[in-house]
Structure 1
């Protein structure tokens, strides 16, 4: 059974968002999950161009282990600005921020699949890793290259390959 990033609202905002794309309209609502969405790179690329609406970001954020301060750091915006965006229901994140939001959603989705619980995943993120040169995985998430390294390490863990 495919795990999803959230079960709270049945991915309601994601389903609405994905249905705006031709590729998304071809999917049945039950087929639209975070995992499937994040693995469809063409769909994600189109979604990045469109920008992430605040309501979808709020859903993604609520299912991540990251707080406002961490999100603002990842997105390279002030915490107050991020909080103001949350109040503006019509705000659409810029393309570069939207890309980062989906990258982090991808990390969270895989991390939650690999670990038994979001709490265990967060512990792993905050623990220096020998495989990553004694760097905490969370400290690598501020760049695309770092995100790729964290994803690769999560995949190794999932397949039982420990360094």
Structure 2
């Protein structure tokens, strides 16, 4: 059920619908993570960022060789790796939702915006870049809260 919920709204080519992942229930996301995320889908999703694929894989603490090998064989990532990928998908969905709620989303590219923002040292993180927190779920939670505070005007 969880995979159907997330996959049914995926765009052509099998890339995740980030907003659907963000809006899915935690139980559905957990079930989807436990089933394992397709390495091929993960690679395709990561290639949407304006960052080198290796930079993003390293940021998520994913081994490039493992992801590439599993993508060629169309295998799923481990539960731990799947969780970090879904966490990133969820962050993109959160940003898309924020933009839709805040006004005119036409022409806004969440991947492009995040690619820039993730590389910038953030005063709220003591000068640490948000990308440096993507390797753990606790770190992704910090990044998510920072995005929410931006929308609320706390970092304006």
Cα pair 2:84 2:134 within 8 Å, conserved: no
Stretches of structure 2 lacking an aligned partner (at least 5 in a row) = 11-15, 100-107
Q: Does 1:104 align with 2:88?
A: yes
Q: Does 1:54 align with 2:47?
A: no
1:11: which partner in 2?
Answer: none
Distance 2:86 2:9 in 1: 20
Q: Give the structure, 1 or 2, with the largest relative contact order (CA under 8 Å, sep 6 or more).
A: 2
Helix, strand or coil at the partner of 1:47: helix
CA RMSD, Structure 1 to Structure 2 (Å): 2.9
Q: Aligned residues, how many?
A: 140
2:61: which partner in 1?
Answer: 76
TM-score normalised by length of structure 1 = 0.70
Helix, strand or coil at the partner of 2:120: coil
2:22: which partner in 1?
Answer: 38
Stretches of structure 1 lacking an aligned partner (at least 5 in a row) = 1-15
- Residue 112 of structure 1 deviates from its aligned partner by 4.8
Q: Does 1:154 align with 2:147?
A: yes
**Distance of aligned partners of 1:65 and 1:85 in 2 relative to their CA distance in 1, 3 Å threshold:** farther
2:114: which partner in 1?
Answer: 121
- Residue 123 of structure 1 deviates from its aligned partner by 1.8
Question: Please, which moves more after superposition, 50-59 or 100-109?
Answer: 50-59
